[in-house]
Amino acid sequence: MVKALIFDMDGILIDSMPHHVKTINRVFGAVGIHLDEQTIYDMEGSRTVDIVTYILKHKNIDPQSMDIEGLLAQYQEEFKRTASFRPFDQIRAILPQLKGHFLISMVTGADRSIVRHIVDDFFPGIFDAVINGEDVSKGKPDPEPFLKAARMLEVDPKDCVVVENATKGVEAAKRAGMYCVAVPTYVSPDKLEKADRVFENHEDLAQYLLSLE
């Protein structure tokens, strides 16, 4: 029996990844590090600190030789300063209706300050629990974020449906013992093959979620 719906943020609730890509390239470009767009999309779902560490290792740079905290702070400030994105209206529109039937949670690897800004602006009063990248010691693809959400909601993982769009998020949900549906917002559908169901677009996803009532 489905008792809780757990939503990823970037790519499911808001169309923000293109902005993340621009922000990452601005911050890292300033120190001579440049990344292609798909490499960043493939990291989607990870905590910001894990993304920064991955980028440095990907470029054969010892993370200990860099000011990780400084890069994180620059990223957060630049993201908020230049923020320009929109919610996916198909999902945003049905959240109040779904909340009448299920517990609703958000699980994201984004930083707390960014998450708070997005929730306050676009989804006030919707979520019964919000897990951000700073709330866990291990981010996706580790199951810790989803298991923590289940504990906060006081539901069994098997009674949760996770809504994802990232490879790491799908893997984390399945490792947590949860049913997972996905939509290929920024990656090809084959990268989401571990999901229980993959929908072509957000409209089809919204219709499925409404059918769970």
Predicted TM-score (pTM) of the model is: 0.88
What amino acid is encoded at 117 in this protein? Answer: H
Strand partners, 4: 103, 160
The highest-confidence range among 5-9, 23-27, 82-86, by mean pLDDT, is: 5-9
**Confidence bin at 70 (pLDDT 50/70/90):** confident
Taking residues 12-34, report their average pLDDT.
87
Rounded to 5 degrees, φ, ψ at 57 are -65, -35
Q: Looking at the chain, which runs of residues are DSSP E strands? A: 4-7, 103-107, 129-131, 160-164, 179-182, 197-198
Instruction: Provide the 3-class DSSP secondary structure of residue 28.
Output: helix
In the chain, CATH 1.10.150 covers 17-81
| Class of domain 17-81 as given by CATH | mainly alpha
Average pLDDT over residues 57-61: 84
Closest CA to 45 of 94, 11, 91, 4: 11
Q: Are 47 and 133 in contact (CB under 8 A)?
A: yes
CATH number, domain 4-15+85-211, options 3.40.50.10600, 3.40.50.300, 3.40.50.2300, 3.40.50.1000: 3.40.50.1000
Residue 105: pLDDT band (50, 70, 90) is: very high
The DSSP code for 151 is H
Q: In the numeric block, which tokens belong to residue 81?
A: 């300063």
CA angle 103, 79, 132 (to 5 degrees): 30
Least confident span in 7-21, 32-46, 86-100: 32-46
Give residue-wise pLDDT tens across range 141-189: 999 999 999 999 999 999 999 999 999 999 999 999 999 999 999 999 9
